[in-house]
Structure 1
Amino acid sequence: MKHLAIATGLLFATQAAAQDPVLTVYTYDSFATEWGPGPVVEEAFEKECGCDLQFVTAGDGAALLSRIRLEGERTEADVVLGLDTALTAQAKDTGLFAPHSVEAEYDLPIDWTDDTFVPFDWGYFAFVGMKDGPKPGSFGDLAAGDATIVIQDPRSSTPGLGLLMWVKEAYGDRAAEIWEGLADNIVTVTPGWSEAYGLFLEGEADLVLSYTTSPAYHLIAEDDATKIALPFEEGHYLQIEVAGRLAASDQPELAERFLAFIATDAFQSAIPTTNWMYPAVTPEAGLPEGFDTLIAPETALLAKPEEAAEVRDAALEEWRRALSR
């Protein structure tokens, strides 16, 4: 009888689990890894939602939008997490995203008024290198020197697109000239951030396009102070990463609940030491020791979402031409 009772209990537990609503969140690869925020967020949200939160990865950030466009209203995604402000205007134009009603006290460098997308973290793009390696202080210095770099493809990666916007915001009509100067420095262009950073760590290049916050990982997680972010005199481009829910979701209330959960301490406290970015809402415990050692850009560059959408194609063509020569 004891064995029968155990078996019956397991059956009921399995049936209950099977009845839990499923929330499918599309995100980029590094978010859902065992060392990323995904596992922490999943455990915390499932404790309060009575649901099954499932992350589905789709490469890097820009690849998320491409996948959603391809799938259209047939998508299985309820939420997309990992776009940024360089993509939000294009994402809205698809008509696939629904407005949200989330209200939160965000701690961002800009005022946030978007009614479709909810911010979950932010940071500044930067080239990361070794403390004893090359230290160009501008794009001009980088192009004129011999430092090798690994960057990401702007068609599939939000950091890659961020670099495109960084050069365009800093140099305007001279952007093509800057790319022509940088072409010889580029060792390779990777589909996403993870591949590029891995090549840098393997010694395949002097510098990698990443974030001003990246050295915090090495300092806090590895007790390694040899990696640094380089301050550029042109300023640094700001990235704000966002999440939005799909209009075709069969779990609209649960998706909205997840968007609201993003602004809570349970989510935000995981960001600094798993995604290694600044949280959109400052955690109750504040930022971890080590973040105070990071460079703080004197000039922040950021195109409005509509402006980013307008210049993206022209900037991408400048990039393509320079790298094809």
Structure 2
Amino acid sequence: MKSLILASATLVATAASADTPQLVVYTYDSFVSEWGPGPAVEAAFEATCDCDLKFVGAGDGAALLARIKLEGERSDADIVLGLDTNLTAAAKETGLFAPMSVTAEYALPIEWKDTHFAPYDWGYFAFVHNADADVPSNLKALGESDVKIVIQDPRSSTPGLGLLMWVKAAYADEAPAIWESLSDNIVTVTKGWSEAYGLFLEGEADMVLSYTTSPAYHLIAENDDSKAAALFDEGHYMQVEVAGKLAASDQPELADQFLQFMVSDAFQSVIPTTNWMYPAVTPSEGLPQGFETLVSPEKSLLLPEEEAASIRAEALDEWRAALSQ
């Protein structure tokens, strides 16, 4: 009798599991880490959707698009979360993303009109360093200095690609010369952000490509004010991170529900102290104490998505040429 009861319970549980819709979200590894937004977002959304939300880490941000292009319409993903405006034009060109409609009062420095992607956070790229260090005041001065840096690969990482756009936006035709100058400063190029930041914390470099918001982590989570972001006088390149729905999703309504949830207070309030970025929609309680200490660039740089897409190959060639010498 006991075995029959157990067998019956197993069948009931299996049937219930089969009836529970699953939403698969591809994102970058740090998002799904135990200290990232993933666990809290998963719990909050599942409390509202009667579904199974499954995050799948797929390397760093720029690697997401490469994976989706490889998998095509056969992809298990319903949503891709972690692209940015340097990649959205290329993502639309694949034809793999569906239009969507998200209603929100965005707190972005730019007007948002995209009908295929919704933003969930934003920030400025910056080089993070020890607060007591004497650091250069711009990218050109950095290349002329002896400061050692760690950066990310622009082919797999959105910060790495953001640095390419930063150099292009700030220096245009001088970009090859800037990269040639910076090549001697680069200790190594990592596949993703986590590896690069870890090397910096281990003392392998003087500065690491990250965000103006990164010191907030050390201040708030570790009560450590020993890290700072260098403020560069040529301006800082902005990143707006987005999510989009795949046209081949077998859960299109659930995907729409998640995208709308993404701009809700339950999601946005998690972003500042887990993803350590500015939320796309201001949480009801505002930003956490400590964010007011962050540097604020006087000049903001951001290329339109079409221009970013059109110069990406050229910028990559310039980067590769400089680093191969």
Q: TM-score range, shorter-chain basis?
A: over 0.9
Query: 2 CA distance for matches of 1:18 and 1:127?
Result: 48
Alpha-carbon distance in 2 for matches of 1:219, 1:77: 36
Aligned counterparts of 1:101 and 1:27: Cα–Cα separation in 2: 20
Alpha-carbon distance, 1:270 to partner? 0.5
Q: Which residue does 1:122 correspond to in 2?
A: 122
Structure-1 residue corresponding to 2:200: 200
Residue 249 (structure 1) aligns with: 249
Paired position in structure 2 for 1:111: 111
- Partners of 2:7 and 2:248 in 1: CA distance: 39
CA displacement at 1:7 relative to structure 2: 7.3
1:141-220 equivalence runs, <5 A: 141-220=141-220
- Listed one character per residue, the Cα deviations across residues 267-325 of structure 1 (whole Å, up to 9, x for unaligned) are 00000000000000000010000000000000000000000001111111111100000
| Shift of residue 14, structure 1, vs aligned partner | 4.3
Q: CA deviation at 1:10?
A: 6.2
Unpaired runs of at least 5, structure 2:
none
Letter in 1 for 2:80: V
Give me the whole-angstrom Cα distance separating, in 2, the residues matched to 1:252 and 1:169: 37
Counterpart mapping for 1:130-141 below 5 A: 130-141=130-141
2:181, 2:129 → 1: CA distance?
A: 20
Alignment coverage as a number of residue pairs: 325
Match of residue 315 from structure 1? 315
Amino acid corresponding to residue 76 of structure 1 in structure 2: D
Alpha-carbon deviations, 1:40-70, whole Å to 9, x = none?
Answer: 0000111111110001111000000000000
The aligned runs of 1:73-112 (5 Å cut-off) are 73-112=73-112
Q: Percent identity?
A: 70
Partners of 1:264 and 1:258 lie apart in 2 by 10
Looking at structure 1, the residues matched to 285 and 12 of structure 2 have their Cα atoms a distance apart, in angstroms, of 40
Instruction: Provide Cα deviations, 1:165-212, integer angstroms capped at 9, x if missing partner.
Output: 000000000000100100000000000000000000000000000000
Return 5+ residue gaps in structure 1 as ranges.
none
Deviation of 1:19 (Å): 1.7
Deviation at 1:12, TM superposition (A): 2.9
Q: 1:228-307 maps to which residues of 2 (within 5 A)?
A: 228-307=228-307
**CA distance in structure 2 between the partners assigned to 1:40 and 1:307 by the alignment:** 36
CA-CA distance at 1:131 after TM superposition: 1.0
Alignment root-mean-square deviation, CA = 1.4
Q: C-alpha deviations, 1:236-272, integer Å up to 9, x for none?
A: 0000000000001111111111111101011000000
For 1:42 and 1:297, locate their aligned partners in 2 and report how far apart those are by CA, in whole Å: 33
Counterpart of 1:135 in structure 2: which amino acid? V
